[in-house]
Amino acid sequence: MAFQRIFLLVITLAFSSLIYGHDIAINIKVTNEQQALIPYSTVTLVSKTDSAIRTGTITDSTATAHLNVPDIGFYQLQISSVGYNNFSQIIEVTDSNFNFTFKLKAGSAALNEVVIQASKPLMQQEDDKTIINTESLEAASTNVYEVIEKTPGLFVDQDGNIYISSTTPAKVYINGKELKMSTADIAGMLKSLPPNAIDKIEILRTPSAKYDASNSGGIVNVVLKKGVKIGITGSATAGYQQGKYNNKFAGFNVSNNNGETSSYLNLNYSNSNNYQVLNTNRDISIDTIIAQKAYSTTPSDAVYLGYGINKDFTDNMNLSYDGRVSYNNYNNYTDNTNSFEAIANDIVLGSSKALSTTNDKTFLVNQDISSTLKLDTAGSEWTNSFTYSYNNNRERLDYNTYSALPYGGNGISNTSHHYFELQSDLTLKLPGKITIETGIKTTYLPFNNKADYVLTNNGDTINDNSRTTTYKYAENINAAYFQASKTFGAFILKSGLRMENTNMSGHQTVPFDTSFSVHRTDFFPYVYLSRKIMTIAKYEIRAYLVYRRTIARPSYDQLNPFPKYVDQFLSEVGNPNLKPQFSNNYEFNISVEQRPLFAVGYNDTKDMFTNVYYQGDSLHALAYKTYDNVGSNKEFYIRGLGVIPPGGRYFFLFGAQYNHNLYQGLYQGQPLNFKGDSWLFFTYHQLKIDKNSMLTMNGFLRLKGTLQFYELSSFGSLSFNINRKFFNQKLTVTLSLNDAFFTNNNEFSISQPTVNAYGYRETDSRRFGINLRYNFGIRKKDEDPDLFKFPNNN
């Protein structure tokens, strides 16, 4: 409570200090290398601290551009003129430094198009989010999922959960829209996307009030490419990776842009296979363990189709339509050997063998319609969007157990859900460097699951009542938010409040009738404060302080009571009694020239729910994995980055993060008091061999430590790739080696009041690959180009 009072005090003091600033007039003179004046040049300025602050003009007959900027600070200057090379430089505007002169070098005699080229940093900080430019990561990947795995600072566990800073998994968004799907379905969809479909990845550790409050683990927003170049352009890609098994993919994308209308099409097919070794020893009594050795292969085929059209009806009004369709045919073949062993002398008391085959077919359709209305030249706009998605999943399981009393079974589980979302957002850029953001959102998600299973014993077939279920779930969330930001002097303050009304209901009719419902309204404050600290060698250093209250609601698959078969001694089952968890998130961080440098954070979570491993009937050695509210979690983390900025021949990034967690509550009804630590190191290196060749290396190391209630041994991965461009840089060939030293495997253990187990896991992670990408295009020749056009002030 003391922390929250301090933040409220900061808001009060800051907003009471809001005053209207006065614009600073600056003059920019443009000459050539012989000091001759260059009139009618295009000059633009973009603030380095707020990209929405943008202005531009044309130099007059004296070759001078007269512009007004709202405040002192660093600005990105861009100058272009017919017959001269484009010019780009960062300048600092101060109270005594507002007159500038720049020289342009002679270039081509005519200007067909203005192209500003600059080296993109791998990571950069933009307000309260980190931008990852993924181009170098795409070259050594066969799908978007692998790109995320290679992204520095992100950790993906074996179940497909993505972690940013905390032990709570992040939510995955596509183009700013949350994927309302299970973790397995999200992973499957990301694996169907070709790697070059990504424009960038946005990481929001503490999202603002504009975003849903159910993001206590942060947001990973995958922004997909759309048609952006004039004319018809595109690329064809293909790739192959070989480990013990192989992955391969092929696809193409094409876009067309005639200025007012742009459209795109993206088609990709992938075929992959992987294996997993999972050995587990679990205590079932004081003198006996059950030892399980499972070997699984997971061949799959996936097809992805993305398409869209964007239309500018006027200079201020835009309408866009985007669609995505994916189909994934996934198989799992598991050979599981089980033995009961005496702890004292390792004598085998009994054994069995189980073979299972799972076929999972998932079909996903997503449709987005959005409109943008620009209200002025300062950046004010009104956006509206409607999203519909449909997800259908059909899973067939066949299993046989060979023991003294052999038996088998099979069944089909059908799952489908629809998702509707309607959202409206208004952004107002007001005088005095004030920005107002407000909006409303409503979502509706109906979910249906029906599972029919049978047991076979001695040739007789009977219904398996323990696995046959019928379950329906519906979720409606209504939200509204308001937030305002103000730049005054060296400070940027943003504060907001979000209201969310939650309505959830679940009804199981088979094997017995039970239901639940939740109706509640909650409020979630948000505060963001940024301040320029100092400037070193023209590099601006800024500090950020962020706070937000968040909620984590259990998803439909976590609430579904259907017991999913894993093996004869283990099942996965949802928990319809889960309660939502609430967190207060605090973070302080420092960036240098928009690049994250250092951060320290604290998360305080109540009613935490997480994946737990509960002991069942010890007489039959049964256990089950489920979700449960275990109590409270207090988490402290610290993160640091060191970097050589891009632009030279060699670039590197090295980072580390430390997490400390304290859990207090109940674990399967027994007192829980558990604490753990973890260290994560990550690095990325890039060496430009020549203008057509590049060598990169990326990797991570996670030292022995805890992940939720599990203790993991040290593990990591180091990957290399080299690419070479041919045929006037149209063809790119990339050779890659992933997990070169085969270190991305680990031992694990869990020791809690009712369960004690340990084991080992490995996957087909070491792979050699080759990727090919060919760019093509038919560029339209501009007729009567407007040489004096400059970007609008938005």
Tens-place pLDDT, residues 700-725: 999 999 988 889 999 999 999 999 99
Number of DSSP helices (H) and strands (E) in the chain, helices first: 5, 46
CA 31 to chain centre: 46
Say which range, 19-23, 202-206, 571-575, 786-790, has the weakest mean pLDDT.
786-790
User: Binning pLDDT at 50, 70 and 90, where does residue 620 land?
Assistant: low
> In the prediction, which pLDDT does 68 show?
78
Say which range, 204-218, 262-276, 286-300, 572-586, has the weakest mean pLDDT.
204-218
Residues 6+ apart with CB under 8 A from 5: none
How far, in Å, CA of 239 to CA of 767, rounded? 12
The predicted model gives 310-325 an average pLDDT of 91
> In the prediction, which pLDDT does 227 show?
54
The predicted model gives 439-456 an average pLDDT of 95
Classified as helix, coil or strand, 592 is: strand
Cβ(523)–Cβ(499) under 8 Å? yes
Helix/strand/coil (H, E, C) string of 211-235? CCCCCCCCEEEEEECCCCCCEEEEE
Higher pLDDT, 5 or 411: 411
Number of neighbouring beta carbons within 10 Å of residue 382: 16
Has domain 123-778 been given CATH number 1.10.1060.10? no
What is the token pair recorded at 749? 């253990």
Number of neighbouring beta carbons within 10 Å of residue 260: 12
Number of neighbouring beta carbons within 10 Å of residue 727: 9
Tens-place pLDDT, residues 126-153: 767 788 888 778 776 778 888 888 888 7
> In the prediction, which pLDDT does 13 show?
38
CA 465 to chain centre: 39
> In the prediction, which pLDDT does 143 show?
81
Classified as helix, coil or strand, 142 is: coil
> In the prediction, which pLDDT does 533 show?
87
Tens-place pLDDT, residues 24-48: 778 898 988 877 788 778 888 888 7
Identical fold, 2-104 and 123-778: no
> In the prediction, which pLDDT does 632 show?
94
| Residue spans per domain, the chain | 2-104, 123-778
How far, in Å, CA of 404 to CA of 597, rounded? 61
Classified as helix, coil or strand, 273 is: coil
DSSP annotation of 147 reads H
**Residue 120 predicted with pLDDT over 50:** yes
> In the prediction, which pLDDT does 453 show?
93
Q: Which amino acid is at 392?
A: N
| Predicted model pTM | 0.77
How far, in Å, CA of 497 to CA of 479, rounded? 11
- Residue 188 — φ and ψ, nearest 5°? -65, -40
**Residue 112 predicted with pLDDT over 70:** no
> In the prediction, which pLDDT does 599 show?
92
How far, in Å, CA of 673 to CA of 464, rounded? 38
- Residue 445 — φ and ψ, nearest 5°? -135, 105
> In the prediction, which pLDDT does 180 show?
73
% of the chain with per-residue pLDDT over 70: 89
> In the prediction, which pLDDT does 2 show?
47
> In the prediction, which pLDDT does 345 show?
85
The predicted model gives 102-113 an average pLDDT of 62
Q: In terms of Cα–Cα distance, which of 752, 726, 507 is closest to 615?
A: 752
Give bridge partners of residue 446 from the DSSP assignment: 474
Classified as helix, coil or strand, 5 is: helix
Higher pLDDT, 438 or 350: 438
197 Rama sector, left if φ>0, alpha if ψ -120 to 50, beta otherwise = alpha
> In the prediction, which pLDDT does 195 show?
81
Q: In terms of Cα–Cα distance, which of 769, 772, 774 is closest to 272?
A: 769
The predicted model gives 757-762 an average pLDDT of 95
> In the prediction, which pLDDT does 194 show?
80
Classified as helix, coil or strand, 12 is: helix
DSSP annotation of 115 reads -
Q: In terms of Cα–Cα distance, which of 464, 451, 142 is closest to 304?
A: 142
CATH of range 2-104; options 3.40.50.720, 2.60.40.1120, 3.40.50.300, 3.30.465.10: 2.60.40.1120
**Residue 117 predicted with pLDDT over 70:** no
> In the prediction, which pLDDT does 394 show?
96
Cβ(680)–Cβ(156) under 8 Å? no
User: Binning pLDDT at 50, 70 and 90, where does residue 736 land?
Assistant: very high
Helix/strand/coil (H, E, C) string of 22-43? CCEEEEEEEEECCCCECCCCEE
Q: In terms of Cα–Cα distance, which of 614, 612, 590, 610 is closest to 601?
A: 590
% of the chain with per-residue pLDDT over 90: 43
Classified as helix, coil or strand, 511 is: coil
**Residue 496 predicted with pLDDT over 70:** yes
The predicted model gives 245-274 an average pLDDT of 90
DSSP annotation of 559 reads H
Give bridge partners of residue 630 from the DSSP assignment: none
User: Binning pLDDT at 50, 70 and 90, where does residue 7 land?
Assistant: very low
> In the prediction, which pLDDT does 437 show?
95
**Residue 788 predicted with pLDDT over 70:** no
> In the prediction, which pLDDT does 271 show?
96
How far, in Å, CA of 722 to CA of 686, rounded? 10
User: Binning pLDDT at 50, 70 and 90, where does residue 388 land?
Assistant: very high
DSSP annotation of 793 reads -
The predicted model gives 479-493 an average pLDDT of 90
Classified as helix, coil or strand, 210 is: coil
Give bridge partners of residue 502 from the DSSP assignment: 477, 520
Which range in 410-419, 461-470, 612-621, 666-675 is most confidently predicted, on average pLDDT? 410-419
Average pLDDT over the chain reads 85
Higher pLDDT, 228 or 329: 329
Higher pLDDT, 92 or 485: 485
Higher pLDDT, 585 or 780: 585
**Residue 503 predicted with pLDDT over 90:** yes
> In the prediction, which pLDDT does 790 show?
39
Q: How large is the C-alpha radius of gyration of the chain?
A: 28
Cβ(569)–Cβ(617) under 8 Å? no
Say which range, 59-68, 390-399, 595-604, has the weakest mean pLDDT.
59-68
How far, in Å, CA of 91 to CA of 633, rounded? 46
DSSP letter string, 721-744 = EEEEEETTTTEEEEEEEESTT---
Does 207 sit behind a cis peptide bond, omega within 30 degrees of 0 on the bond before it? no
Cβ(788)–Cβ(65) under 8 Å? no
Cβ(373)–Cβ(316) under 8 Å? yes
Classified as helix, coil or strand, 81 is: coil
Classified as helix, coil or strand, 112 is: coil
**Residue 14 predicted with pLDDT over 50:** no
How far, in Å, CA of 413 to CA of 432, rounded? 59
> In the prediction, which pLDDT does 121 show?
65
How far, in Å, CA of 792 to CA of 794, rounded? 6
> In the prediction, which pLDDT does 230 show?
55
Residues 6+ apart with CB under 8 A from 645: 121, 593, 595, 651
Tens-place pLDDT, residues 332-352: 999 999 999 998 888 888 889
The predicted model gives 49-68 an average pLDDT of 77
What is the token pair recorded at 371? 């409109």
